Every structure is written in C-alpha cells, then in structure tokens.
C-alpha cells in the first residue's frame, strides 16, 4: 500500500545553518503522526519542504505516492496545510472566511456551501460561524484554521504546532477534533514540542533534534525501549548546581542507579534512571539524609517521552528549548550591536 507521506533523507541548509540535516519517516494512511522536538529542531522546515513552500537541498518527498518536487501542484491538491500562525481577516465572520477560502480553491459554489456546513458541524463552530473572527479566542481561531485546511477534502492534513499558545482545555478540544478527523480517514501529520500532546494523540512519531531523527516508533514502544523507572528528585526547590552535583555523585554509587542527569530547567532537579528495585525511594532518601542533604520532593514514575529524549540527547526537551532560545537571543543581541 502507498504511504500517505514519505520523506527520505531530507536536507535543507540556510547558508551554514543546517536546518534539516537528514530526516526520514513514513506515515501510513489514516494515522496521526507527530514530529516532536524542541524549538529550532527543524520541524517547520521539514513541513515547509513537504508542502512545497521551501525547496529542499536534497531528499525524496511524497504525498500519497506523488512527488512533491516533481509534481508540486498535484501533491498540494492532496494536502491541507495549517501553519503555525495564520493571519485571519478579522472583519470577516468565520463562515465568510471559509467561503472566501473555498473560492481560492476554485470550489463550485453549491458543493462549497455543503462542505462549509459539514466542517462547521464537525468542528463545533455552529454558534460562532456568524461572528467576526476578530472576536474569536485562540482556540476558536485554531478550529477555524482546521476547517480551512480541510475545505478541499485533503487526504493528508499537515499542521505546524496546532496548539501552540493555547490553554490546556482548548488544546484538548483540538486533540479530540484531530482524533475525529483521523477517524474519518484523513491522515494527520503534526509537529509539536508538547510531550503530552504527542503522547495523547500520536499513533507514531519521530523525535527530531538538530535536524536529524534521533528516535522513532509509537509512544509506548519508545517508552518501553528506554527501560527502567525514573526518579525525579529535588534537594531544594531551587538548588545550587554544586550541591546537586555532589548529591548526584553520591547517588550514582547506589547499585540500582543506572544513570543520573541534572535537569536545569526544573530548578536543578535530578532525574535518576533505576533498574527494578522495590524500595528504591527509601534507599535514596536514606543515602541523602545520611549525607546531610535535605529532600524537597521525590517521586517515582514510568518513563515518559521526555525520558526518551533525555536518553538520546543527554538533556530534557525543556532544557533544549531554553538553550535554543538563549542562543537565538544571543544571535539577535549580536546583530543589534553590529547595527
């Protein structure tokens, strides 16, 4: 069976910035597939290449077996694209905006009206369709974005960070709508840097870091692969790094502790990977108090997707994001100084 999406050895450089170094993945028909990674990992660039909005330097890109590079028009007709930020015409009502968009797709008037009604119902926009979009909340705007992306019956819906900036309630509404859309047979490909979003939604995913794929599989498979339980521990609410380093060195000596990583974004907390040990928590507590360390909080859990990222890169997704935005700020500052 033809894959809904095929990306093989995609490469895209902007000067000497390697936005995408080597990304490959396949999406099966009808599944929800996620590109997970911190800001700057190369998700948007991958999506823009796939939607023929940016020309790649190398690689194969296919939508339903159609080459995006050789037949961009044909490939585009098969996909709906929802960008991260969409500039809505705020004076138009939701329905008027969909009508305008259907004209852009050259849809015949009568079939366009039927499709618009269908999508307004599907996305629960009945009560808002005649309100100007300028009065919409962020969550409503995203629902209208989904309707716009679905107007021309695409086989594959591609979304760049569909819930960025939304509160958790609005995000959950979008998640259930995307599940409904996939249930109706549309393949969904989305990018996200929200771990819980990918965990809740995706059948399969690739984790992207610095323009390459570092892990792929279903959320369950990936979590199982990283093995043992995790213990998250805080010496104090915000601990000095030297103190946590000392605690880390002590805990690493315990026979059941396989790895210990400091999580800077969480007030220098410690993430411990342990092998099966029933009384691990109390043994860690004993070891710390015996060495005069206080304990602010301690908890044991099964591995999460963040642990998958951590195992592959040595840092949490949040730490990676903080570093990426810090380096972006630094570059911006240098640019400003040069002006």
Using CA atoms, how far apart are residues 297 and 232, in angstroms rounded to an integer?
8
Nearer to ligand ATP among residue 207 and residue 244 (C-beta): 207
CB proximity list for 317: less than 8 A, separation 6 or greater: 37, 38, 193, 195, 306, 309
Interaction of residue 326 with ligand ATP, rule CB under 6 A = no
* Residue 198 engages ligand ATP in binding (rule: CB under 6 A): no
Q: Give the residue, chosen from 5, 27, 36, 37, that forms a contact with ligand ATP under the rule CB under 6 A.
A: 37
Those residues whose C-beta lies under 8 Å from the C-beta of residue 249, and which sit 6 or more positions away, are none
Instruction: Work out whether 41 is an interface residue with ligand ATP (CB under 6 A).
Output: yes
The answer to the question of residue 40 lying near ligand ATP (CB under 6 A) is yes
Shortest Å distance, C-beta 303 to ligand ATP: 23
Q: In angstroms, what CA-CA distances link 5 with 1, 19, 111?
A: 12, 20, 28
Query: Collapsing DSSP states into helix, strand and coil, what is residue 315?
Result: coil
Residue of 53, 34, 60 lying closest to 179 (CA atoms): 34
* Listed ranges 35-43, 67-75, 89-97, 310-318: which one lies at the site for ligand ATP (CB under 6 A): 35-43
Q: Examine residue 19 and tell whether it contacts ligand ATP (CB under 6 A).
A: yes
Question: What is the spatial distance between Cα 189 and Cα 161, in angstroms, rounded to a whole number?
Answer: 10
Identified binder of ligand ATP from the candidate list 6, 43, 141, 230, rule CB under 6 A: 43
- Contact region for ligand ATP (CB under 6 A) — 12-20, 68-76, 88-96, 249-257? 12-20
- Residue matched to tokens 């590079």: 69
Site for ligand ATP (CB under 6 A): which residue of 45, 271, 304, 313?
45
Q: Which of 22, 24, 39, 246 binds ligand ATP (CB under 6 A)?
A: 39
For residues 154 and 302, what is the distance between their CA atoms, to the nearest angstrom? Answer: 38
Nearer to ligand ATP, 160 or 229 (CB): 160
Residue 14 touching ligand ATP (CB under 6 A):
yes
44 scored as a contact of ligand ATP (CB under 6 A): yes
Q: How far apart are CA 191 and CA 179, in angstroms?
A: 15
Q: Is 210 exposed, middle or buried (0-12, 13-18, 19+ CB in 10 A)?
A: middle
User: Which of positions 139-168 make contact with ligand ATP (CB under 6 A)?
Assistant: 161
Distance of alpha carbon 315 from the chain centroid: 17
Of 2, 9, 17, 184, the one binding ligand ATP (CB under 6 A) is: 17
In this structure, the chain runs to a length of 339
Interaction of residue 59 with ligand ATP, rule CB under 6 A: no
**Residue matched to tokens 């629960």:** 124
**Piece of the chain touching ligand ATP by CB under 6 A; list 42-50, 249-257, 270-278, 298-306:** 42-50
Residues found near ligand ATP in the complex (CB under 6 A): 14, 17, 19, 37, 39-45, 161
């Amino acid at each position: 069976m033809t894959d809904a999406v095929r990306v093989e050895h995609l490469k895209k450089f902007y000067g000497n910035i390697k936005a995408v170094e080597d990304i490959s993945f396949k999406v099966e028909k009808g599944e929800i597939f996620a590109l997970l990674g911190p800001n700057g990992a190369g998700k948007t660039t991958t999506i823009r290449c796939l939607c023929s909005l940016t020309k790649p330097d190398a690689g194969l890109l296919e939508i339903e077996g159609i080459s995006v590079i050789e037949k961009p028009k044909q490939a585009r007709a098969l996909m709906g694209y929802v960008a991260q930020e969409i500039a809505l015409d705020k004076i138009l009502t939701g329905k008027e905006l969909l009508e305008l968009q259907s004209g852009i797709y050259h849809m015949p008037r009568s079939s366009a009206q039927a499709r618009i009604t269908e999508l307004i119902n599907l996305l629960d926009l009945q009560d808002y369709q005649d309100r100007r979009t300028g009065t919409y909340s962020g969550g409503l705007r995203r629902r209208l974005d989904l309707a716009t992306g679905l107007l021309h019956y695409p086989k594959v819906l591609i979304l760049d960070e569909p819930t960025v900036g939304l509160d958790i309630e609005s995000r959950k509404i979008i998640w259930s709508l995307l599940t409904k859309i996939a249930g109706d047979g549309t393949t969904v490909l989305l990018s996200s840097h929200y771990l819980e979003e990918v965990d809740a939604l995706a059948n399969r995913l690739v984790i992207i870091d610095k323009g390459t794929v570092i892990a792929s599989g279903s959320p369950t498979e990936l979590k199982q692969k990283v093995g043992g339980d995790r213990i998250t521990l805080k010496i104090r609410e915000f601990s000095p790094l030297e103190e946590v380093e000392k605690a880390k060195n002590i805990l690493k000596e315990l026979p059941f502790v396989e790895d210990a990583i400091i999580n800077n974004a969480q007030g220098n907390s410690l993430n411990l990977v342990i092998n099966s040990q029933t009384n691990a928590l109390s043994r860690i507590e004993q070891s710390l108090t015996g060495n005069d360390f206080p304990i602010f909080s301690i908890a044991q859990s099964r591995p999460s997707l963040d642990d998958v990222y951590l195992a592959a890169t040595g840092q949490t997704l949040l730490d990676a994001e903080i570093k990426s935005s810090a380096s972006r700020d630094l570059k911006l500052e240098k640019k400003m100084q040069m002006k």
